[in-house]
Amino acid sequence: MVKLLLIDRAQDWIELRQTRNVLAHEYPFDVELQVEELNLLTDDVERLSSIWIRLKEYAQDRIFPDR
What letter does residue 28 receive in the DSSP assignment? -
Residue 65 confidence (pLDDT) above 70: yes
Question: The whole model's pTM is what?
Answer: 0.72
Write down the pLDDT at residue 30.
78
pLDDT, tens only, 2-61: 998 889 999 999 999 988 887 777 666 778 887 887 888 888 898 899 999 999 999 999
Q: What is the CA radius of gyration of the chain?
A: 16
Of residues 1 and 27, the one with the higher pLDDT is 1
Which has the closest alpha carbon to 10: 22, 1, 19? 1
Write down the pLDDT at residue 60.
92
